[in-house]
Chains A and B, each alone.
Chain A
Amino acid sequence: MNKAQIFSLDAVIAIGIFILILLSAALVWNYSREKISIEETRNDMEIIARNSLAVLIETKGNPTNWTDYDFNQTDIYSLGLADEFLLLNSTKINSLSSADYSTAKTILGILGSNYEFRLNIDTWNGASYISNYTIGTAPNATASEVVNIERFVLLDDLWAKTTMKLWKSCEDATC
Chain B
Amino acid sequence: MLKKKAIIFSLDAIFAIIIAGIMILACFFYLSQTSTNLYKNQDIYKISLDSLTILEKDNTLKTAVETSNTTIIQQFLNSLSEQHCGNITLYTSSSAAILSAQKTGCTSKNESTIAIRSFVANNSNIYYANMEAWYK
Residues of A near any B CB (own CB < 8 A):
9-10, 13-14, 17, 20-21, 24, 28, 31-32, 35, 39, 43, 46, 50, 85-87, 124, 128-129, 149-154, 157, 159
Contact = CB atoms under 8 A, between A and B. Distances in A.
Given A50-B39, A129-B79, 11 more contacts: A10-B12, A13-B10, A28-B24, A28-B28, A39-B35, A86-B50, A86-B53, A152-B54, A154-B58, A157-B58, A159-B79
Contact of A150 (B38, B53, B79, B81): B81
A152 to B, nearest CB: 4
B47 A151 contact: yes
Contacts, number: 68
B130 interface: no
Which of A9, A128, A129 has its CB near the most chain B CB atoms (within 10 A)? A9
A24 B24 contact: yes
Interface residues of B, number: 29
Nearest to A163: B81
A157 B57 CA distance: 9
Contact of B57 (A13, A14, A87): A87
A149 B43 contact: yes
Interface of B: 8-10, 12-13, 16-17, 20, 24, 27-28, 31, 35, 37-39, 42-43, 46-47, 50-51, 53-54, 57-58, 76, 79, 81
A32 B24 contact: no
Contact of A86 (B13, B37, B57, B79): B57
16 contacts: A9-B8, A10-B12, A13-B10, A14-B13, A17-B13, A17-B20, A24-B20, A31-B31, A46-B37, A50-B39, A50-B42, A87-B57, A124-B79, A150-B43, A152-B50, A159-B54
